[in-house]
Structure 1
Amino acid sequence: MRARLALAWLGLMLAFPAAAADYVALPGGSFNSVLPADGKAAAAQVAPFRLRTEPVTNAEFRAFVKAHPPWRRDRVAKILADERYLSHWAGADVLGEQALPNQPATRVSWFAAQAYCESEQARLPSWYEWEYAAAADATRRDARADPAWRESILGWYSRPSSKALPDIGGAPNVYGVRDLNNLVWEWVDDFNALMVASDSREQGDPDLLKFCGAGAISLQEKENYAVLMRIAMLSALQAADTTNNMGFRCAKPE
């Protein structure tokens, strides 16, 4: 289905590249994802890649919309974005008080996010790439075993969703990437391969999260709760959906 829908926006891709953005190199490697590659315990293999240091901002997305008018909210095809697409902007290409320039761009569909990344000769990161980058703190590539780090990540989920989003520019992690865990949800390229099985009646196997019908994680694993919430959120969406707190960043192969 996604392949067929992609044909609808393929013709809307860049006529010329966007302004240069900051990307940093991540080394990749073997990574113990919460969604095992074989559904049991196999580590994911992440190839070296480059990741945008910060989420795309309203100012950047406005520049994209002005350069690519088919992505204006008054012109975008309904199959590519729902009725909430950029609805908090003051106008079709005007930000306004509810969409400040340095806030992350939200109410953007997967199609629009992918199109923006194409304008930077990039793509949306895969789930494994995003999870790999988000596991780092300021000094460690994988801080997930640290209870204090996990608690700091969980703290973001207590922020009311109606509260105005902060500007981008949080403290960088060890790779130089900012705002992965504490600003917005983020689209990933393979979001529709994240599958949630919510029937908890199966003895010994409650509340599974499944990746391509394979990987699983229990809601009882508190240390993985923040990541689980991301997966649940993404798995509930369609490519044309938009939400108040769903943003994105782009990635490139190394």
Structure 2
Amino acid sequence: MRTIGLTLSILIATLYIAQAQVSPMVTIKGGEYIPLYGSDSAKVKVASIKMDVYPVTNLQFLNFVKENPKWRRSNVKGLFADKNYLSTWQSDTILGVNLKKDTPITEVSWFAAKNYCECQNKRLPTIDEWEYAAMADEELPDARQKKTYNQFILSWYETPKTNKNKIGSTFKNYWGVYDLHGLVWEWTGDFNSVLISGESRKDVDKDSNLFCGTAAIGATDLMNYAAFMRYAFRGSIKANYAMRNLGFRCVKDITDEKL
């Protein structure tokens, strides 16, 4: 009987870990949008994708590093993560005393986030995919012209330690995604493209203009400071940075646009 009880406990624990590792996803139906710095003639087409409903949690990333020792704090190379990588964890496989399992993972580099998604047969979203999904509020797929929408985002930027809030504590947007705004900044696969060129978004202008004094001339919405702050933030970080307010979520390609 003890053997059966022990086996059952192991099975339950294994099932719990497996469920914790799998993030629910929803479909973001593709379309076109105008990025912050663009014009009506430079609309960007975004294909349909599946997106994680929530950011990746501490528990999910903990299970990931247990299964992938190269991403444990004591093993990771400086080229792939700076000294802040998982710095508030007690050890390689023990979360910090003030960290909860259902809050977003932070202090992870772009390299670690990218590999995590790849191990889930997913990937990090592009800037355009993230911005397209994140321009939705509870009712509209594009709420950028609503004063309340931008006020909510800006008020979050001014609120400290929101990364300690549990996933799902913000609003569910039009697509069924939580926490794109309100908990943590999020890595994108091409975050550094804002300082390279606009070719990936079919924009012939150099995105370095984002940080020039004359940048506002090309803005599609002069009052959209929230989006400008995201672009500026992405342009200021490097792939090996691990920050306490920076997490991530994954996406997956959809081959059938009707899904």
**TM-score over 0.5 (shorter chain):** yes
Q: Deviations over 1:25-63 (max 9, x none)?
A: 111111122133xx7741110001110000000010000
Q: Which residue of 2 aligns with 1:167?
A: 166
Partner of 1:89: 89
- Distance, in Å, in 2 between the alignment partners of 1:41 and 1:114 is 32
Return closer, same or farther for 1:206/1:35 CA change in 2, 3 Å cut-off. closer
Question: Alpha-carbon deviation of 1:96?
Answer: 2.3
Rg bigger for which structure? 2
Give the alignment's TM-score, normalised by structure 2: 0.80
Q: In the alignment, what sits opposite 1:191?
A: 191
1:150–1:115 Cα change, 3 Å = same
Deviations along 1:67-104, whole A, 9 cap, x unmatched?
10100010011111001000011111110223211110
- Deviations along 1:123-148, one digit per CA (max 9) or x if unpaired, are 00000000011011111111111111
TM-score by length of 1: 0.82
Answer yes or no: is the 8 Å Cα contact 2:194–2:231 preserved in 1: yes
Q: CA deviation at 1:206?
A: 4.4
Equivalent residue number for residue 157 of structure 1: 157
Give the corresponding residue for 1:31.
Answer: 33
Matched position secondary structure for 2:45: strand
Quote the Cα distance in structure 1 between the aligned partners of 2:215 and 2:125.
29
Count matched residues. 221
Partner of 1:120: 120
Q: RMSD of the alignment, in Å?
A: 1.9
Q: Secondary structure at the match of 2:63?
A: helix
Check conservation: 1:89, 1:98, Cα contact below 8 A. no
Does structure 2 conserve the Cα–Cα contact (< 8 Å) formed by 1:24 and 1:52?
A: yes
Greater helix content: 2
Aligned equivalent of 1:6: none
1:221 paired to 2:187: no
SS at match of 1:153: helix
Alignment gaps of 5+ in structure 1: 1-17, 209-215
CA contact (8 A) 1:56 1:249 kept: yes
In 1, are the aligned partners of 2:110 and 2:240 still within 8 Å (CA)?
yes
Query: Letter of the aligned partner of 2:219 in structure 1?
Result: I
Secondary structure in 1 aligned to 2:21?
coil
The one-letter amino acid of 1:114's match is: K
Cα contact 2:162–2:182 (8 A) shared by 1: no
8 A Cα contact 2:34 2:40, kept in partner: no
> Counterparts of 1:1-254 in structure 2 under 5 Å?
19-36=21-38, 41-160=41-160, 162=161, 165-169=164-168, 170-195=170-195, 196-197=208-209, 198-200=211-213, 205-206=214-215, 216-217=218-219, 221-222=222-223, 224-254=224-254
Structure 2 unaligned residues grouped into runs of 5+: 1-19, 196-207, 255-259
Percent of residue pairs identical: 39
